[in-house]
Amino acid sequence: MTLRIAGAPVSFGVFELSPADAAVQLPGPDEILDVLERTGYSGVDMGPLGFLGRGAQLRARLSSHSLELAGGWVSLPFSDDAAFAASLGELDAALDFFDESVDENTTLRPLPTLADTGDELRRAHPGGGEGLSLDAHGWDRFAANVATAAARVRDRGFEPTFHHHACTYVETGQEIDEFVARTDVGMTFDSGHLLIGGVDPLVGWKRWSSRINHVHIKDVRTDVLREIVGRNGSMYEVWSGGTFVPLGEGDLDVPAIMDAIVESGYSGWIVVEQDVIPRSDDDPGRVERDHAVNREALRPWA
């Protein structure tokens, strides 16, 4: 069994949301890969499409830092047939990127990480709630569109994974169960988003481990999370409010989760995600220090 540890641009504040603090200058790709290489990671998540470069530049950048591409986020509106059909070009563009990342030295092909975009109503309610889930017909549409996307991914020689995610139609335990029952796509296990959806991560691992083919691990201060979700705060507040902290500094039972992962026979990437929205007054050494802490926290298992 082989576990590989990857980092992610989102842990540096590089993702689809821009910092509210206009004075923040986000790091570039080489700055991020330098930190990951120095602190002992062997892979990196895609980040925004093209952030790491394209084609030969992408492959050279990964190789120069001794890193491989672990996976990457592809969000699609699975619950809306017309919007989904219109978005398939975005999936194809992401698959082109994955193709470009692979060369003769690649030892583990990256996993395109599919996720739902939700809709305006669902995005406004982290954690879900009564009346916010799909009905039976909605699930029929959702599952059919997932099957279409998965076939497109597999036709390009990759295996998809699906990320249950806050503010989408696959978030709560019941919704994940429905997804598992209606599709054949492997699942990305994300300890932080399970907690937002009301699921204990250890319970979730035991419940769905047979379908998990990718892992995102993050530690969470549950008191901060509960306060934000309890007053119906936004995901921006979750990301910017100090919810996600270095492994071992929150309430996630990291040893129990890692023991369960190892005991299940899981083999693949564990992507460390400490989602943050940086501020200009942040300690400039914090990011590298946090990455070192996160990597060392997983050293007994990987």
120-156: per-residue pLDDT in tens? 888 888 888 888 999 999 999 999 999 999 999 999 9
Give tens-digit pLDDT for 262-277: 999 999 999 999 988 8
Closest by alpha carbon to 216, among 256, 193, 252, 189? 189
CA torsion through residues 77, 53, 150, 260, sign: negative
pTM for this model (two decimals)? 0.95
Domain for residue 302, yes or no?
A: no
CATH of the domain at 34: 3.20.20.150
For residue 244 the two structure tokens come to 């996600």
Structurally, the chain folds into a number of domains equal to 1
Q: Is pLDDT above 90 for 233?
A: no
Q: Which domain holds residue 232?
A: 3-297
Q: Confirm whether 234 is domain-assigned.
A: yes
β-bridge mates for residue 216, sequence order: 190, 271
Instruction: Show the beta-strand stretches assigned E in 137-256.
Output: 161-163, 186-190, 212-217, 219-220, 244-245
How far apart are the C-alpha atoms of 249 and 246, rounded to whole Å? Answer: 6
- Give the chain's radius of gyration (CA, Å): 18
Strands 161-163 and 186-190: parallel
d(CA 71, CA 171): 20
For residue 69, being part of any structural domain is answered with yes
**Which pLDDT belongs to residue 281?**
85
Q: Does residue 288 form part of some domain?
A: yes
What number of other Cβ atoms are within 10 A of residue 149's Cβ?
21
Confidence of residue 17 (pLDDT cuts 50, 70, 90): low
